[in-house]
Amino acid sequence: MNILSVEGQKSADAAVDGRASRWQTHREERRRELIKSARKAVHALGSDASMEEIAAAAGTSKSVFYRYFGDKAGLQQAVGEVVLNQMQRRIQEAAQSAQTPREGLFAMVSAYLQMAETSPRVYTFVTKYSAAESDRTGAAIATAGALGHFFEAISDMIARPMRAHLGGGSGKEAVIGYWPNAAIGLVRNAGEQWLASPASPDKPDQEAMARQITSWLCVGIAPELEITTLALSQPPSKT
């Protein structure tokens, strides 16, 4: 093979590589656009929106969404990864500005509730999985994995200030190791129940709920129990 043939082949290979690279870039950009459109559609239509409804709101066909995401569970996972990454960055920024471990907890809980409250329909969409889809595709496990990774990262962020606050010592590391996972369970379950509660005069606003959850994390419900016990121990007032 002469030099011209070798150079020609290199040029042809480079052209193929360039087209493949441009096509990959185009697919990634198109995927991001579809995720953004799906998120807007769910925000407007609700967490139970079908693929057909989401596609119509995005101005395309559901076959396009199936081509990029496989099925609805795949779309949930893709939207969830974007939402959770944004939420994680927000929580990290909030935690870094805090001066004490308790302030850090409040900042993280508050940021979490703010993000969930901003679009509860999208939050529900990315954290709710169809049992039928789970049985059929196993995709719920993969999506739960993305969610689990997020909460693992949050657990680690909670553990770091607690280690700094409590210091080392026998037995403390084990306690700190257990506590973040328990804390995340409390934050998520209390937050989702608050999110799903209908508006009423008795429903706390976002800041009040964040402070209440932070108080539960730091001191438990002992103060409330003490107040209740004290009230019950008092003799009835005479009128």
Per-residue pLDDT reduced to its tens digit, 211-222: 999 898 888 876
pLDDT value at residue 77: 85
Please tell me the pTM assigned to this model.
0.66
CATH of domain 72-239: 1.10.357.10
pLDDT value at residue 67: 93
Query: Which residue in 113, 116, 114 sits closest to 47, CA to CA?
Result: 116
Q: How many residues are recorded in the chain?
A: 239
Q: How far is CA 201 from the centre of its chain?
A: 28
CA dihedral 94, 100, 106, 111 (to 10 degrees): 0
pLDDT value at residue 204: 95
Query: Which residue in 23, 46, 24, 26 sits closest to 34, CA to CA?
Result: 26
Listed as ranges, residues in the chain with pLDDT below 70 are: 1-18, 129-176, 222-239
Residues 148, 142: Cα–Cα separation, whole Å: 10
pLDDT value at residue 42: 95
pLDDT value at residue 89: 82
Overall fold of domain 13-70: Arc Repressor Mutant, subunit A (1.10.10)
pLDDT value at residue 137: 46
pLDDT digits (tens, 9 = 90+) for 22-56: 778 888 999 999 999 999 999 999 999 999 999 99
Q: Domain segments of the chain: what residues?
A: 13-70, 72-239
